[in-house]
C-alpha cells in the first residue's frame, strides 16, 4: 500500500511539512505516509472514538490521533500541505461542505488527495447507488457513490483548481499482486467485474502502468466502479 501512495502522491507534493489524514480509522494510512515522508508531521483525525482507541495501541500513533468532525476540523486555517482521504470521503453527508472545510485548513499550494473512493459509472450507476444504500443500512452509516461529474463539481465548488480524477494506482496492486488488504470489500459485491479486469491485465502484461490505469478508468467511467478512483485538487 505504501508504494501505491508514494507513486501517486509524489506527482503532486514532494516534501510536505504537515499532513492530515481524515477518516483515518485504525491509522494504517498515517503509518504508510510517515514511512514515505519520515521528516513530516502526519496527523490523523477520525470521528470514531473506538477506532482511535484501537489505533493508539500502536505507540507510533500516540499523540498524533485526534477525534473530530471533518466538516468542523479543529485546526487553524492554512495548517497543512496535504490532506488525505483513503476510502473515506464517500462517507461525507455533503461533499462540497466537507471539501470547503479541507480547503480552509490547507496552505496555499496545498493538495487534496482522496483515493480508493467509489464512483458511479455511466451505465450501471443506478445499481451501484442501490448497493451503497444497502451497505449504509447494514452498517447504519453514510455510504455514497458519486458520479465523475459530482466529484468534479464538488472539488471545483470548494475552491480547488485543476481537479483531476483517475484510476487509483492501488488498482494495479489489487489486480496484479493479489493484495488482500481489502478482503472485506470483496465480500459485499459480485467479484466477476474484478476477475474480468484482472484477466484483461494479463492480456496487457506488456503495457506500462499508465496505459493499464487508463484502461481501468475507462471501464470505471462506463461500467464498473471497481476499487475506486483517486481525486486530486490544489489550493491556489
Q: Which residue has the higher pLDDT, 55 or 150?
A: 150
Q: Rounded distance, CA 147 to CA 210, Å?
A: 22
Q: Does domain 2-234 have CATH number 3.40.50.300?
A: no
For the chain, which residues make up each domain, given as ranges? 2-234
Q: Rounded distance, CA 157 to CA 204, Å?
A: 37
Percent of the chain with pLDDT over 90: 30
Percent of the chain with pLDDT over 70: 76
> Which of 117, 83, 94, 97 lies closest to 159, judged by CA?
97
Q: What are phi and psi for residue 178, nearest 5 degrees?
A: 55, 45
pLDDT of res. 24: 81
Distances (CA, A) of 83 to 33, 91, 180, 182, 184: 11, 16, 25, 22, 25
Task: Kindly state the average pLDDT of the residues 134-153.
Answer: 84
Mind spelling out the 3-state secondary structure of the chain? CHHHHHHHHCCCCCCCCEEEEECCCCCHHHHHHHHHCCCCEEEEEECCHHHHHHHCCCHHHCCCEEECCCCCCCCCCCCEEEEEEECCHHHCCCHHHHHHHHHHHEEEEEEEEEEEECCECCCCHHHHHHHHHHHHHHHCCCCCCCEHHHHHHHHHHCCCEEEEEEECCHHHHHHHHCCCCCHHHHHCCCCHHHHHHHHHHHHCCCCCHHHHHHHHHHHHHHCCCCCCEEEEEECC
pLDDT of res. 14: 82
pLDDT of res. 179: 46
Most confident of 11-15, 40-44, 224-228: 40-44
pLDDT digits (tens, 9 = 90+) for 163-194: 999 887 766 655 555 444 444 444 344 556 66
pLDDT of res. 77: 96
Q: Which residues contact 134 (CB under 8 A, 6 or more apart)?
A: none
26-30, 151-155, 172-176, 231-235: segment of lowest average pLDDT: 172-176
Q: How confident is the model at residue 214 (pLDDT cuts 50, 70, 90)?
A: confident
pLDDT of res. 171: 61
Q: Cell 514511512 identifies what position?
A: 35
Q: Rounded distance, CA 122 to CA 220, Å?
A: 9
Q: Cell 481524515 identifies what position?
A: 22
Q: Rounded distance, CA 216 to CA 167, Å?
A: 6
Predicted TM-score (pTM) of this structure: 0.82
pLDDT of res. 103: 98
pLDDT exceeds cutoff 90 at 110: yes
Q: Which residue has the higher pLDDT, 31 or 196?
A: 31
Task: Kindly state the average pLDDT of the residues 114-133.
Answer: 79
Q: Rounded distance, CA 210 to CA 125, Å?
A: 25
Amino acid at each position: 500500500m505504501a508504494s501505491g501512495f508514494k507513486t501517486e502522491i509524489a506527482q503532486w507534493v514532494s516534501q510536505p511539512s504537515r499532513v492530515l489524514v481524515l477518516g483515518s480509522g485504525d491509522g494504517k494510512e498515517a503509518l504508510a505516509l510517515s514511512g514515505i515522508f519520515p521528516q513530516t508531521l502526519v496527523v490523523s483525525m477520525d470521528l470514531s472514538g473506538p477506532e482511535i482507541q484501537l489505533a493508539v495501541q500502536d505507540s507510533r500513533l500516540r499523540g498524533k490521533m485526534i477525534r473530530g468532525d471533518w466538516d468542523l476540523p479543529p485546526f487553524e486555517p492554512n495548517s497543512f500541505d496535504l490532506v488525505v482521504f483513503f476510502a473515506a470521503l464517500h462517507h461525507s453527508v455533503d461533499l462540497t461542505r466537507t471539501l470547503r472545510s479541507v480547503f480552509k485548513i490547507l496552505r496555499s499550494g496545498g493538495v487534496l488527495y482522496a483515493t480508493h473512493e467509489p464512483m458511479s459509472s455511466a451505465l450501471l450507476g443506478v445499481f451501484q447507488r442501490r448497493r451503497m444504500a444497502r451497505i449504509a443500512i447494514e452498517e447504519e452509516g453514510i455510504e455514497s457513490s458519486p458520479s465523475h461529474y459530482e466529484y468534479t463539481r464538488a472539488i471545483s465548488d470548494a475552491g480547488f483548481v485543476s481537479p483531476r480524477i483517475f484510476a487509483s494506482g492501488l488498482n494495479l496492486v489489487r489486480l496484479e499482486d493479489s493484495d488482500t488488504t481489502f478482503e472485506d470489500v470483496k465480500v459485499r459485491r459480485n467479484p466477476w467485474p474484478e476477475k474480468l479486469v484482472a484477466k484483461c491485465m494479463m492480456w496487457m502484461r506488456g503495457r506500462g502502468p499508465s496505459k493499464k490505469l487508463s484502461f481501468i478508468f475507462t471501464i470505471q467511467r462506463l461500467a464498473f466502479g471497481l476499487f475506486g478512483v483517486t481525486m486530486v485538487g490544489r489550493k491556489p
